[in-house]
Amino acid sequence: MLNLGYPELMIILVGVCILAAYIALICYIYRDARSRGMPHVTWTLLAIFIPSGIGIILYFILRTPPLVYCTQCRAPISPGLAYCPHCGRALASTCPQCKRISQAGWTHCGWCGVRL
């Protein structure tokens, strides 16, 4: 039987906690990348195999915004689109002249200046 002292047990406990946190972070990256429509297996493998946590840091820097869902057909859509590419429903108000997305409360288009 092993005869471990207090310092050795603490080192083992800290190591187990770090390993558990690392595994939880890798699982989070897998689920988060999948929910954002990113290549989740690729990002998970990069996070695991790029050393010193650089893969994990890169994921959090380069991840895409979360997907939004069309109010009519419930299809997942990249944020910032004015129309649903699946059913054609308008998702945001657009300028009648340049067709760019305008925000609520604007009286004039921010790109072409036409009155909304």
79 and 106 both lie in a single domain = yes
Report yes or no on 1 lying in a domain.
no
51 and 72 both lie in a single domain = no
Two structure tokens written together for 67: 């997907």
Q: Shortest CA distance to 70 belongs to which of 48, 86, 51?
A: 86
59 and 81 both lie in a single domain = no
Instruction: Give the residue numbers spanning the domain of 75.
Output: 67-116
74 and 60 both lie in a single domain = no
pTM for the full model?
0.70
Q: Shortest CA distance to 91 belongs to which of 65, 107, 70?
A: 70
Grade residue 1 by pLDDT with cuts at 50, 70 and 90. low
- pLDDT tens column, 50-99: 998 999 999 999 999 998 899 899 999 888 888 899 999 988 888 889 88
16 and 58 both lie in a single domain = yes
Report yes or no on 54 lying in a domain.
yes
Counting the structural domains of the chain, the total is: 2
53 and 76 both lie in a single domain = no
